[in-house]
Structure 1
Amino acid sequence: MNVIKKQAFLSTIFSYGGVLVGFVTQFFLIGNFLEPAQNGLLAVLLSYMYVLVQLSSLGFNAAGSRFFPHFRNAEKGHNGYLFLGLSIGIAGFVLTSTGLFLLKDIIIKNEENSTLFADNFYFLLPLTFATLLFNLLDNYAKNLYDTVTGTFLAQFLQRLLQLVAILFIIFQIVDFQQFMYLWVLAVSFYVVPMLWKASKLEGFSLKPNFSVMTPKFSKEFGFYSFLTILTGFSSMVILYIDKIMLAGITTFTDTGIYNTASFFGSVMGMSLLAVNKAAQPLIADSFAKKDLANISTIYRKSCTTSLIVGCWIFLGIFLNLDNLFLFLKPEYSAGKMVVIIICLGKLFDLATGLNGTILTLSKYYIYDTYVMVSLIIITVSLNYFLIPIYGMNGAAFALAIATIYYNLVRYLLVWWKLGMQPFSIDLVKIIVFSIIIGLIIKVLPNLEGNKVLATMDMAYRSITLTLLYGIVIYWSKVSPELNGAMRNAWEGVRKVLGLGFRS
């Protein structure tokens, strides 16, 4: 667990640093200096890009994580792992790019959005290729227990570069179309330092080596890759089909508002993302060693920690929601309910922890394929029926319901097949504590009238929430790991203050 703690701690710092930068960029800058339709364009391009990346990888990254112990050999360049992944990725990129070209007219079908989308459609190609290559290299580094570099580059540096790109249009140095080139460069650049870092890891090699790929292993690897194409595509569907279908059924304006509102859900998921990246290679190794007890421990602790952090963030968002939307254009207020719906669905995701990672890395991975294929049908159907009725709120409902569905089924499968289930009375305590603390903070007097008072209101509510929530969580001892982190942080503060007094 020490490796996970260290990696997860650093990843969490970079993730939430990136969240802060992303929040400033998405919420304050894009929300005020771009038109909602332009905001929607950026969201749709990224949504299509992530789906295309998943298809282009042809399932290699997921299979590579599961079977990397077979490749691991630094002296032999990890038996051609990178060459194989790069070859498969390029082949997949050619296939998906061809399909993208052939389906262009079908994809660009909404008359109101067609001109804006068509003018920027082919930016999907460099975005997809750069992200495809980054994912391969990040996955390689992650399998060698370096989960921090990829998190820093993807969660922090990429968002910082996007903020810089936005500044060019804010200060009227470029127009929107020129800005799009800067934005694509900002999104894609992170592959360059990732390649440099990967090249410094022990055993880096782009030379072919097929010694591991025996007929039996190739068949098993290929079958798993095929299944994870389906599961990975399904994951992308639940994450991004809402924006794609919302843009197709309504307008890019609605999609832009929805995109800004849904950002809060991604903020809540950062703690689990960091833990997942740190835990994945250790879970894979534990399965190889048949150490189910270690996996069960990781599973239980991940759920507790993620829910604690998630509830704290949810309360911070919910209690400050009206104040936050004062800093946006008035039309964005339509997205308030979207924030609440998506964040509630994300809480269930956090409460069930690493169920998906455990299931896909186990010998029962085929069950996850069935779950994720059914998820495509459910998610698309929910969006198809709910968006025409409820608009962006319908997309949020569809996302929340789908999130609860696939996490519940995965939780039950891990319990049934592996005998692991992470729920305990501690999770109930966390939820009860959160509700009580939320009600207490909610009845505090409001400071309202202008943006200065709104800022002061958010500050004193957030500080009160953090202190009260931290004290209750520490006192209840629901997470020994967080208690230890709090003690270490307090000792650090005491040392700093002590040095300051002596000087």
Structure 2
Amino acid sequence: MGIVFKQSFNNTLILFLGFAIGGINVLFLYTHFLEAEYFGLITFLLSSANMIMPLLVFGMQHTIIKFFSAYQHKEEQDGFLLTALLLPMLIIIPLSIIGVLFYHQIAEYLARENIIIEKYTYTIFFTSIFMGYFEIFYAWSRVQMRSVFGNFIKEVFARICISFLLLAVFLDWIDGEQFVYAVVIVYFLRMIIMKLYAFRIYFPEIKWTGLPKNIKQILSFSLYIIMAGSAGTILLEIDKFMIPQMKQIAEVAYYSVGVYIASVIGIPSRAMQQIINPITARELNRNNLEEVKSLYKKSSLNLLIVGGLLFLLINTNIQELYKIIDKPEYTVGIYVVLVISISELIKLSLGTNGAILTNSRYYRILFYYAIGMAVSVVILNRILIDYMGIQGAALATLIVVLIFSLLRIFYVNMKMKMQPFGSKTGLLLIVIGALFFVFYFVPLPFNAYLNILIRSCLVTGVFIYLVIKLKLSSEMNQVFDKYLG
């Protein structure tokens, strides 16, 4: 677990830095420097690009992670990586032609409720390509066990650039329209930087030796991952896509703030997955199921501990946080924060479940799960957004995450005889629930900043004390024994 802990720790720091910068952007700069209409527009464009990205790049970022370690010779590895760069063109070029031929029809459809979308529809396609090839080059570096720099570029670079762009809007150097185009350029630059880094740490010999011998297996895996990845991304982004089709686009901005606050809970998982996914793939290729099982249990419990603390810090202070934001129209997102926070905790409890399914011979099941999730969330969003507005979008996400997370846990246990939970998981959930109800309903008489500081210190102290005293995690206890005696 040495390399996992070291790079996960570094990635966690980077993710927290990125989220801190992003938090300043979302909670203060976007809300105060940019009109809600343009805030909602850029959120819609990026979410739409994210949804089609897995299709455009043919799922190659996952294919690289799964297959690279299975090749023993550099010539085979080089041929595989070159194939991974070229295969997405089989989709990008035909879709480009279709997009040109039917651009006006597509743009009019997307803009039927909010005309501002029509002018920027083409940026969705370009941004998606930039996002997709960034992920390919990022996977390229991750299979070399070099995840930290790419994580920095992904999580910090773009957000710093956007901070400067928002400041430029405030200073009237650029307007809202120019801001949208500038964000697209940022994603292009991010892709180029990642490409240069990936080639620096591993540059393949540019020599075409034919398709990899296991090309049928690669194509089969990629096709399933395309569908699973696209459907999975729909779960994450469809709400931001559907809200403008049913409500005013400004409501996407209100929803995005709530989702962003809650998504902080997912930081530990995102940090660990950067390095633990290729390790899980390697151990599965070696048929070392005991190590896979150990990673599964440890990741679930430790992610729940860290995520549980973040859940408490966010949701016990949420009223004061919205007071600091000082935008009354955004307070409709408070319920969104709580509901999405619960769904994030559920996803943390899965641990390496996704890595196990993606990199095992059972990867095809992800396709069926993802399709089921996508269809379910679209139907629920259509019903609940119409009935409850943005709160309905959050509730739809929670329902789908809960049901399909249970199904994934059951499936891995049925096929591989391993599951992530134990008695300590139940005890941890009791601790999280009890502390939430105690601190959420106990008011403090000071200003918002002081209330957040006092409550955060109390929550953190009591939570850490209980985790150590109850010996919920041997890894956590070892860390505290080492540094605090």
TM tier, smaller: over 0.9
- 2:107/2:121 contact within 8 Å kept: no
CA deviations on 1:292-332 (whole Å, 9 max, x unpaired) are 00000111011011111111111111111111111141111
Instruction: Indicate which of 216, 221, 244 corresponds to 2:218.
Output: 221
CA deviations on 1:204-225 (whole Å, 9 max, x unpaired) are 12624445622xx111111111
Whichever residue aligns with residue 425 of structure 1, its letter is S
Residue in 2 aligned with 1:90?
89
Residue in 2 aligned with 1:266?
263
Residues in 2 aligned to 1:444 and 1:174: alpha-carbon distance in whole angstroms: 45
Residues in 2 aligned to 1:445 and 1:241: alpha-carbon distance in whole angstroms: 36
2:476 paired with 1:482: yes
Please state how far the C-alpha of 1:99 moved relative to its aligned partner: 4.1
- 1:55/1:96 contact within 8 Å kept: no
Please state how far the C-alpha of 1:95 moved relative to its aligned partner: 3.1
Residues in 2 aligned to 1:378 and 1:442: alpha-carbon distance in whole angstroms: 32
Residue in 1 aligned with 2:459?
465
After TM superposition, list the pairs within 5 Å mapping 1:51-200 onto structure 2.
51-71=51-71, 73-74=73-74, 76=75, 78-101=77-100, 102=102, 104-106=104-106, 108-109=108-109, 113-200=113-200
Whichever residue aligns with residue 222 of structure 1, its letter is L
Q: 1:191 to 1:489 in 2, by over 3 A?
A: farther
Residues in 2 aligned to 1:104 and 1:352: alpha-carbon distance in whole angstroms: 43
Residues in 2 aligned to 1:77 and 1:111: alpha-carbon distance in whole angstroms: 47
TM-score (structure 1 length as normaliser): 0.91
- 1:268/1:343 contact within 8 Å kept: yes
Q: 1:338 to 1:16 in 2, by over 3 A?
A: same
Please state how far the C-alpha of 1:77 moved relative to its aligned partner: 7.5
Residues in 1 aligned to 2:181 and 2:106: alpha-carbon distance in whole angstroms: 25
- Range with greater deviation from structure 2 (96-105 or 46-55): 96-105
Whichever residue aligns with residue 239 of structure 2, its letter is D
Residues in 1 aligned to 2:310 and 2:113: alpha-carbon distance in whole angstroms: 34
- 1:52/1:96 contact within 8 Å kept: no
Q: 1:236 to 1:19 in 2, by over 3 A?
A: same
Residue in 2 aligned with 1:24?
24
After TM superposition, list the pairs within 5 Å mapping 1:346-385 onto structure 2.
346-385=344-383
Residues in 2 aligned to 1:95 and 1:251: alpha-carbon distance in whole angstroms: 33
Identity of aligned residues (%): 24
Please state how far the C-alpha of 1:427 moved relative to its aligned partner: 1.0
After TM superposition, list the pairs within 5 Å mapping 1:303-322 onto structure 2.
303-322=300-319
Please state how far the C-alpha of 1:439 moved relative to its aligned partner: 3.3
2:145 match: secondary structure: coil
CA deviations on 1:466-492 (whole Å, 9 max, x unpaired) are 12212221222212222333445548x
Q: 1:175 to 1:483 in 2, by over 3 A?
A: same
Residue in 2 aligned with 1:49?
49
1:260 match: secondary structure: helix
Residues in 1 aligned to 2:437 and 2:305: alpha-carbon distance in whole angstroms: 17
- 1:71/1:79 contact within 8 Å kept: no
Q: 1:490 to 1:154 in 2, by over 3 A?
A: farther
Residue in 2 aligned with 1:496?
none
Please state how far the C-alpha of 1:139 moved relative to its aligned partner: 0.7
CA deviations on 1:74-129 (whole Å, 9 max, x unpaired) are 4x382323321221123322233344442553454366754311222222233222
Residues in 2 aligned to 1:4 and 1:277: alpha-carbon distance in whole angstroms: 9
Instruction: Indicate which of 298, 301, 308 corresponds to 2:295.
Output: 298
Residues in 2 aligned to 1:113 and 1:488: alpha-carbon distance in whole angstroms: 58
How many residues are matched? Answer: 483
CA RMSD of aligned residues (A): 2.0
- Range with greater deviation from structure 2 (172-181 or 354-363): 172-181
Residue in 2 aligned with 1:4?
4
2:39 paired with 1:39: yes
TM-score (structure 2 length as normaliser): 0.94
Whichever residue aligns with residue 118 of structure 2, its letter is A
Residue in 1 aligned with 2:273?
276
1:429 match: secondary structure: helix
Q: 5+ residue gaps in structure 2? A: none
Residues in 2 aligned to 1:488 and 1:195: alpha-carbon distance in whole angstroms: 39
Q: 1:77 to 1:418 in 2, by over 3 A?
A: closer
- 1:318/1:340 contact within 8 Å kept: yes
Residues in 1 aligned to 2:244 and 2:205: alpha-carbon distance in whole angstroms: 41
Q: 5+ residue gaps in structure 1? A: 492-503
- 1:77/1:205 contact within 8 Å kept: no
Residues in 2 aligned to 1:458 and 1:417: alpha-carbon distance in whole angstroms: 46
1:447 match: secondary structure: coil
Residues in 1 aligned to 2:43 and 2:412: alpha-carbon distance in whole angstroms: 34
- 2:80/2:212 contact within 8 Å kept: no
- 1:84/1:208 contact within 8 Å kept: no
Q: 1:98 to 1:336 in 2, by over 3 A?
A: farther
